[in-house]
Each structure stands twice: as C-alpha cells, then as structure tokens.
C-alpha cells in the first residue's frame, strides 16, 4: 500500500478544488477514488477538517456507499450484476464461475493483483443479461466461456 504522505498532496488539491461547491462530500470522495483508486483511511481526518465535519461523519459516508472502497483495487475491476434480470439468465452460474476462475470471493482481489471482483445491482443492460462491466466497459450476454475470453483479453492488454 502506498504511503499516505505521497498521496496527501492529491487529496488536499481535490479538497481545495471543491471548497465552494454545495454538498461537496460525494464529489470529493469520487475525486479521490478516481485519482488514487480508493479512499485511503488516512485521508479521512484531512477531509473532515476541510469540511468542518467529524471523522465519524466522513467515515459514515464512505462506508454507507457500496461504490467507495478503502483498499487499493486490482488493475481491473470486474462488476457482475446480481439483480433479477441477470438472475433470470443464469448470472448465478456466471458468478460461481468467476469466483472459481479468479479464486476469490466478492470484494476481493486476485493473488496476481490483476482483477478485483465486485457485485453490482443493475447496469441497465437488462435486455441482454447477464451483464458485467470491466472497468468502464459494459458486456452483455456473458457466458462463462465469454467471461474467460474477456479475462484473457484484459490480461493481454498488459
């Protein structure tokens, strides 16, 4: 894990850029996660101080939202939809296959640091279920075979 000292200037810059924005906590957290890949727990005191909130309040917001993470992600993040539409098209089989292939559970990162696996509840691709995303790309009608091909592709782009 990176040393917070090297990350702090980035965090402070993001805090400064959002100083005047009403309701700025979520945009700040997005800014940090977009830049650093996650929200370092050590950043919480800095955020709290800048927004005149308690550390507990900031931590409460970070932990409330599924999207925010407090550990560094793998190189690529795979999100598998678990909602009803995808279930009706066998997403459970796909989920099991993904976990076995990557040898991890949801919210974990593969041993080689390549892939993080997260559940997601609806990508709005319900007419072509089951759906997944890898980073910001959406894929529809994903069978276990197609999943393996995608893994190979994303590994290949190294």
Partner 1 sequence: MTRLFISRDSTALSLGAELVAQTLQRHTAGQNIEIIRNGSRGLFWLEPLIEVETDAGRVAYGPVQPEDVASLLASGLLEGNQHPLYLGDIEALPYFKNQNRLTFARVGITDPVSLDDYLAHDGYRGLKNALALQPADIVKQVTESGLRGRGGAAFPTGIKWNTVLNAPAEQKYIVCNADEGDSGTFSDRMIMEGDPFVLIEGMTIAGLAVGATQGYIYLRIEYPHAKIALNQAIAAAYENGYLGENIQGSGKTFHLEVRSGAGAYVCGEETSLLESLEGKRGLVRFKPPLPAIVGLFGKPTIVNNVISLASIPVILDKGGEYYKNFGLGRSRGTLPIQLAGNIKHGGLFEAAFGVTLRELLYDYGGGSASGRPIRAVQVGGPLGAYMPESQFDTPLDYEAFAAIGAVLGHGGIVVHDDTTSLADMARYAMEFCVEESCGKCTPCRIGSTRGVEVIDRILDNVDKAKNTELLRDLCDTMTCGSLCAMGGMTPYPVLSALNHFPEDFGLQATKA
d(C-alpha 111, C-alpha 12), whole Å = 32
Question: Residue 70, interface with partner 1 (CB under 8 A)?
Answer: no
Rounded Cα gap, residues 15 and 91, in angstroms: 40
- The yes or no reply on residue 14 touching partner 1 (CB under 8 A) is no
Strand segments, DSSP code E, in 40-144 are 76-81, 108-109, 115-120, 132-134, 137-139
3-state secondary structure of 139: strand
In the complex with partner 1, the residue whose CB is nearer, 112 or 137, is: 137
How many residues touch partner 1 under the rule CB under 8 A: the total is 42
Of the two residues 9 and 124, which places its CB atom closer to partner 1 in the complex?
Answer: 124
| Contact pick of 43, 94, 98, 120 for partner 1 (by CB under 8 A) | 120
Query: In this chain, which stretch among 9-17, 102-110, 128-136, 145-153 interacts with partner 1, using CB under 8 A?
Result: 128-136
- Is residue 137 a contact residue for partner 1 (CB under 8 A)? yes
Closest CA to 94 of 136, 51, 129: 129
């Amino acid at each position: 894990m990176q040393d917070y000292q090297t990350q702090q200037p980035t965090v402070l810059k993001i805090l400064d850029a959002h100083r005047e924005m009403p309701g700025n906590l979520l945009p700040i957290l997005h800014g940090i996660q977009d830049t650093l890949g996650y929200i370092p727990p050590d950043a919480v005191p800095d955020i709290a101080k800048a927004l005149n909130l308690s550390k507990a309040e900031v931590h409460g917001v970070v932990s409330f939202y599924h999207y925010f993470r407090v550990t560094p992600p793998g190189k690529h993040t795979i999100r598998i939809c678990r909602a009803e539409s995808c279930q009706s098209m066998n997403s459970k089989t796909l989920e099991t296959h993904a976990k076995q292939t990557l040898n991890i559970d949801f919210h974990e990162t593969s041993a080689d640091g390549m892939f993080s696996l997260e559940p997601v509840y609806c990508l709005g691709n319900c007419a072509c279920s089951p759906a997944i995303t890898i980073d910001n790309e959406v894929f529809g009608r994903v069978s276990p075979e197609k999943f393996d091909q995608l893994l190979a592709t994303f590994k290949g782009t190294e």
